Every structure is written in C-alpha cells, then in structure tokens.
Amino acid sequence: MHQQTPWNRIVTTTAAVTEPVSLDRVKRSLGLDNVRDFDTTLQELIKSAANAVSNDLGRALVTTVYTLHLDRWPGREIQLPYPPLISVDSVKYYGDVTETLDTFSSGSYTVSTGGDPGIIWLNEDKDWPELMDRPSPVEVQFQAGFGADTDDVPAAIQAAVCMTAAYFFDQPLPVVQGSVSELPLGVSRLIDSERFQRY
C-alpha cells in the first residue's frame, strides 16, 4: 500500500496549448457548422468545459507542465497528481547546507509513468538531501496529460468535454473560465471508467 503524498500546493507552470476537443466538433454538435458568430464564446466554453471534466476526473487532459511544492520528503516515493504522468523535468530542493535551490540528480531516482498516479522512486542506495527550514523546500516539475494533441485524449473524455461545452452554450448560466465544477447530467457516467481514484 502506497503512502499518500501530501499534495499541498500545485501550480500550473505551462498551460496546455491545445484543447481536448476542437471548435469545429462542438459547432457540429450544436448545428452551427457554418456560423461564426459564436466562435469566441464557444472557445471560452470549451476551456471551461475541459477544466470541469479535468477536475471531475482528477486528470490532466492535454500535456500540461505543473510544479508540485512539498513541505517535506514524503518517504521514499513521491506520487504526482493529475495523471497520466508523461515525464519528470526536475526535482529541486532548498538544501540545509547550501540554503539555495539545488537540483537533485536524476540518477538518484526512478520515474514510473505506467500507473496512476505516476511515481518518483528514490533509488535504494540513495537518500533524500536534508532540507532547509523554510516553507515548501521541495519543488517537483513534471509534465502530465494524455498527449500534446487533441487526438491523444481518449474518445470518451473528448465526448464529455464536447457535451459539456454544448450544455454550457445551451444553458447560458454565469460561467467563469477555469472555475466551472458542475457537469451536465450523463457526462459523469460517460467518463466514470476514466476517473482517477487516489489511494
């Protein structure tokens, strides 16, 4: 049984540059194929829908770079949020001796991207460095998501984002980009099998 990593602060370092569904797909679902009047609104709603589905799943959808801040080393493994994990860019820490932000050698740990969540394993013959007494002395930068392109996202998740964006358009309630948490009826069931359950 894995010991849970305290995910106390996670920052989006580089946001995804594409969305999990295209504008054209959402327009087709709404019967607006040849209408451009609502393109800007729909693009904003696609972002909100993608965020809502991502939050519901507990997953990154399209490649995104995050920085996880930790107050301590959590045992000999670090679980990384927002699977699937693509890669770990760096593990940095404020050392007790140097009192500067140093990079922990990538040769001292092993990265597992094959499960949920992705995990950094400290190698058996290594120890984590002593940390400086300061808030969040550990910073782990990593990339997560199904891939860089829309087509990398599973079909069920693409459908869920499309349905949600269309729902937001048909039900024009106040929507603040990036803060939507409510999904329309039926979407959660569609993506139940993709939801990340943190152990």
CATH of the domain at 170: 1.10.3230
pLDDT at 107 over 90: yes
> 51 with 69, same domain?
no
pLDDT band at 10; cut points 50, 70, 90: very high
pLDDT band at 192; cut points 50, 70, 90: confident
CA dihedral sign, ordered 79, 20, 186, 164? positive
Q: Are 35 and 95 in contact (CB under 8 A)?
A: no
Q: Are 163 and 112 in contact (CB under 8 A)?
A: no
98 vs 124, residue with greater confidence:
124
Single-letter amino acid code for the residue at 169 = F
Average pLDDT for the chain: 88
Domain for residue 196, yes or no? no
> 136 with 95, same domain?
yes
Domain for residue 185, yes or no? yes
Instruction: Tell me the range of 7-21, 33-47, 58-72, 175-189 where mean pLDDT is highest.
Output: 58-72
> 92 with 39, same domain?
no
Name the residue range of residue 47's domain. Answer: 20-57+151-190
> 121 with 51, same domain?
no
Structural domain total, the chain: 2
> 133 with 77, same domain?
yes
Question: Quick check: bond before 117 cis, omega within 30?
Answer: yes
pLDDT band at 179; cut points 50, 70, 90: very low
> 29 with 47, same domain?
yes
Domain for residue 170, yes or no? yes
Domain for residue 161, yes or no? yes
pLDDT at 181 over 60: no
> 168 with 130, same domain?
no
Domain for residue 98, yes or no? yes
Could you tell me the two tokens for 76?
Answer: 């000999």
Query: What proportion of the chain, given as a percentage, has pLDDT over 90?
Result: 69
